[in-house]
Structure 1
Amino acid sequence: MTDYETAALAAQWVGSVSSALAVVVAAVFGYLTLQNNRRSRDAQQRASLAAASGGTQHRQGLVAGARTGGSTLRVAHRSGETWALVNSGPDTVHLVRIEGLTDLDKRRLREVPPEPTPLDAGQSTEFVLTSRYTMSGPANVVVWFSDRPGGTVLRTVLQVPAP
Structure 2
Amino acid sequence: MTVRQIRLFGDPVLRSPCAPIDQIDDGVRALVRDLVETVELPGRAGVAAPQIGVGLRAFSYNVDGRIGYVLNPVLVDVSGEPELIGEGCLSVPGLWHEVLRHPHATVTGIDLDGDEVTLTGDGVLAQALQHETDHLDGTLYIDRLDPATRRIAMREIRESGWF
TM-score (norm 1): 0.28
Query: Which structure has greater helix proportion?
Result: 1
More relative contact order in 1 or in 2 (CA 8 Å, sep 6+)? 2
TM-score where L is the length of structure 2: 0.28
Q: Which has the larger radius of gyration?
A: 1
